[in-house]
Amino acid sequence: MAQFSLAELETIIHQRAHSGDPESWTAKLFAKGIDKAAQKLGEEAVEAVIAAIRGDRQALVSESADLLYHWLVVLGIAGIPLDDVLKELEGRTGRSGVAEKASRPRG
């Protein structure tokens, strides 16, 4: 089986977002806007945390898939390509997480 990637999912989300398909959850989320999509992202994050704490492997896998999907929807609505996030992560790999966090502006 070929490896499925987040880039492929991003492409599918973009296609469905602009499909006009009334049966598409993605199109509905895009139509409802960033507030609804971000709310769903938060809900999925909480559900993933609960699954992790409970040690429920299958639920964690499922909720993680939901989390990644809704995260990409939020990025899509915000007009932020996945590549921008990956470049940010790549730039952080050359230093420790502690140093990277300390370098962020406080606010």
CA dihedral 77, 59, 47, 4 (to 10 degrees): -20
8 A C-beta contact, residue 13 and residue 76: yes
- Residue 1: pLDDT above 60? no
The tens digit of pLDDT for each residue in 52-63 reads 999 999 999 999
User: What pTM, to 2 d.p., does this model score?
Assistant: 0.86
8 A C-beta contact, residue 20 and residue 33: no
DSSP 53-89: HHT-HHHHHHHHHHHHHHHHHHHHHHT--HHHHHHHH
Residue with tokens 């945390």: 49
The tens digit of pLDDT for each residue in 58-103 reads 999 999 999 999 999 999 999 999 999 999 999 988 877 677 677 7
